[in-house]
Amino acid sequence: MQTIDKKTQESMVALRRDLHQHPELSSKEQRTATKVCEFLDQIKVAYQPNIAGTGILAEIPGQQDGPCIALRADMDALPIQEETGLPFSSEVKGVMHACGHDGHTSILLGTAMHLSQQPPPPLPIRLIFQPAEETVKGAKAMIDNGALENVALIFGGHLDRHYLAGKIIVTEGPVNASSDRFCITISGQGAHAARPHESVDAVVVGSLMVMAIQTIVSREINPAHPSVISVGRFDAGTASNVIAGQATLEGSIRAQEPEVRKHLHDSIKRIAESVGQLHDAKVKVEIIKGVPPVINTHEMTVLAREAAIAAVGNANVGQLATANMGGEDFSYYLDHVPGCYVRFGGQVPGNEGFPAHSSRFDFDESALSTGAAYYASIAELAGQWVLKNR
C-alpha cells in the first residue's frame, strides 16, 4: 500500500486551510494560483502558469519519455456565505470553498510532493490545476490551451461526504450526470384581470407547461435510467389586476446517458410548443447545453480500482451507492482521452447532513492523504499500462 509521509500530510492540511480561508470564485483564482506555484517552486517541480487565465500545468519526469499520465484538480470556490464555524473559515464575505476544491488542490500538490521524493514513475506525470469548474468553463479552456497535448490517460477525483474517510469509490459507467439548462419564453396577450376572455394568459400557459414537463421523466424515461428535469424559475406578471402577456420558465436538465439526454431535450421542446399551440401562445424554447455525463469505461475502471486497492486496501474500495446527478466538467477531458473519475470519502461524523454547496460543508482532512496515495498509485500503474499496451 502507498504511504504518504507525515510531512506531506501536514503540508496538505496547512495548504488546505490556507486556501479555505482565502477562497476565490471561478476564473478569479489569482491568489490560489500563486500559492500553487509557490508550493511547486519549493518542491522543485517545473510548471507553466497562466494557462487559460489562472490555470497551471506542472510536470514530473518519468523513467522514460513518452505520453503523459494526467492528474487533475479544480481550484475555484462558490458564492456562499460560510457558516461552518471552523477556525479557518473563509475570510472573504460571500465566498466559500463549499465543494472541496481546496482539498482537491491540496491533494494534487501533496501528490507532487510525494512523487518528487520517490523514484521516477514509468512515464511523465502532468498535473492539471484547473480554474472555473463551477461555471463549467475551465476544462474546455485548459484543453484548448494544450492541457492534453501528449497525454495518454487522465484521472481525477472528488471529495464526497457520503462516504467515510479512507474509502475510495470506483464505479464503472456513469458517475456524473450531464447538466443542461432550458429557457422557455411565452408570448401571449395581456389584459385586464376583469376581462380574461380578452387575454392569452401567459401564467396559465406556463403553469400547464410546468406540470406537463414533470411527466417527461415519470412517464417517458425508463426508471432504471436516472434523469431529472427541474423548473427553477417562473417569471411573469407585473400587478395583481393585470393578466400577464409574457412569461419565462428556466430550469435544469440532467441525465446519465447521451440517449436519455437527447430524449429530454426533444420532449421539452415538443411539450412546450404543443401547450403554446393549444392556447394560442407563441413559444420559444432554448436548450443551453452544459457538460456531458462523466462515464467511466470498463478498462479504465479496472485500472483505477487496482490503484485504489494499492492505496487503501481492498476492504476500503467501494462503488457509488446511488446515482449521482451532479454535473462535472471532467467529462470534457474524457471526450479526448481515456480515464477514470473516482470519489474520496470525506465524511465528518456528526456533519453528514450538510452536503456540498451547503454553507456548512466540511470534510475530514485525513481524506487528503487518501487522495494523494491513490494518485501516486495510479501514476505508477497507469504508466505501466500505457507502456504495456502501446
What would the pLDDT profile of 276-320 be if each residue is shown by its tens digit? 999 999 999 999 999 999 999 999 999 999 999 999 999 999 999
Q: What is the pLDDT of residues 128-144, one digit of tens each?
A: 999 999 999 999 999 99
CATH code: domain of residue 325 = 3.40.630.10
Distance CA 372, CA 11 (A): 12
Residue 220 pLDDT level (bands cut at 50, 70, 90): very high
Q: 21 and 137, same structural domain?
A: yes
Distance CA 14, CA 115 (A): 19
Residue 41 pLDDT level (bands cut at 50, 70, 90): very high
Q: Which percentage of the chain shows pLDDT scores above 70?
A: 100
Q: 134 and 269, same structural domain?
A: no
Distance CA 332, CA 228 (A): 21
Q: In terms of residue numbers, what domain contains 212?
A: 178-291
Q: Which residues fall within 8 angstroms of residue 154, CB to CB, at 6 or more apart?
A: 69, 70, 71, 72, 128, 148, 333, 334, 337, 338, 339
Q: What is the pLDDT of residues 146-205, one digit of tens each?
A: 999 999 999 999 999 999 999 999 999 999 999 999 999 999 999 999 999 999 999 999
Domain end marker among 263, 291, 319: 291
Q: What is the pLDDT of residues 237-257, one digit of tens each?
A: 999 999 999 999 999 999 999
Domain end marker among 276, 291, 306: 291
Average of per-residue pLDDT across 41-61: 98
pLDDT at 353 over 80: no
Contact 255, 100 (CB under 8 A): no
Residue 321 pLDDT level (bands cut at 50, 70, 90): confident
Structural domain total, the chain: 2
Q: 309 and 320, same structural domain?
A: yes
Q: Which percentage of the chain shows pLDDT scores above 90?
A: 96
Q: 72 and 221, same structural domain?
A: no
Average of per-residue pLDDT across 345-364: 91
Domain end marker among 272, 291, 310: 291
Residue 124 pLDDT level (bands cut at 50, 70, 90): very high
- DSSP-derived letter for residue 216 is H
Residue 349 pLDDT level (bands cut at 50, 70, 90): confident
pTM of the model: 0.94
CATH code: domain of residue 271 = 3.30.70.360
Q: 316 and 283, same structural domain?
A: no
Q: 211 and 167, same structural domain?
A: no
Q: 297 and 382, same structural domain?
A: yes
pLDDT at 326 over 90: yes
pLDDT at 350 over 90: no
Question: What pLDDT, on a 0 to 100 scale, did the predictor assign at position 354?
Answer: 87
Contact 108, 55 (CB under 8 A): no
Question: What pLDDT, on a 0 to 100 scale, did the predictor assign at position 390?
Answer: 85
pLDDT at 1 over 80: no
Please indicate, yes or no, if residue 1 is contained in any of the structural domains.
no
Q: 326 and 254, same structural domain?
A: no
Question: What pLDDT, on a 0 to 100 scale, did the predictor assign at position 323?
Answer: 84
**Three-state secondary structure call for residue 81:** coil
Q: 317 and 170, same structural domain?
A: yes
Q: 154 and 35, same structural domain?
A: yes
Question: What pLDDT, on a 0 to 100 scale, did the predictor assign at position 87?
Answer: 98
Mean pLDDT for the chain? Answer: 97
Q: What DSSP string describes 359-379? A: TT----TTHHHHHHHHHHHHH
Q: 286 and 335, same structural domain?
A: no
